[in-house]
Structure 1
Amino acid sequence: MIHPAKSIRTFIGSKSYNESIRFYQVLGFEVKSLDTKMSLVNVTDSLAFYLQDAYEKPWCENSMIFLEIEDDLESYWEAIKVLGLPDKFPGTKLSSIKYNDWGNEFFLHDPAGVLWHFGIFNL
């Protein structure tokens, strides 16, 4: 069956809600408050997720999001690296690019421990 879907959005938590809002804004995402405990975070006009003022350590530290980049992962990594996120937000980590048979990716942990994969597929 083909679903007439318009979007799919995940919900992620935050250890410090205001800090996470600032983190995603510095990352270049648009954050729109929906109420005092939830925001819609737009990555692009058609890609978004919900950020909640809720923290459960096992949930946050086991949440992963893969954001597929159209092209030039190296330039995208450089653009994120110069933001200095690990210096500005304690607990955040940025990896180098990993080159795999299936494609390439790098990782970014947000302030709550959510693991972002940014990558390109070779398939």
Structure 2
Amino acid sequence: MKKVMFLKTTYRTFSGTKEIVELKNKKSTQWIIYRDNKPAYFVDFYDLDKESNAMMNSLVLCNKKTIEETLELINKKNNVNLSIPKITRLGYKKKIKSKEIELDLGPIPEEWLSYSL
């Protein structure tokens, strides 16, 4: 696994201050998946060299489900807590600071991605 540069951004919202790890140049097919509210996995639907990404591509794009719906199914089936971080539900956010960080986020474990979700 190669390390990738991410941005750790601090936002001020109505509900307080939140830190979110984001991709520097995010594409609509790339996601940072949190486990227990911490960045844990990186998914790129079009990096099909990794079996886990190919499986996620099928589960989300081919089944026409959202990433959130798919993560909910994975959570129920495997008793885990995977999520996509949300900065705010109310829409108000103010970026306070950002810094580059290097993380080594692997793909979601294949055994969680059974095609029969």
Q: TM-score range by the shorter chain?
A: under 0.3
Higher relative contact order (CA 8 A, sep 6+): 2
Instruction: Output the TM-score relative to the length of structure 2.
Output: 0.23
Instruction: Output the TM-score relative to the length of structure 1.
Output: 0.22
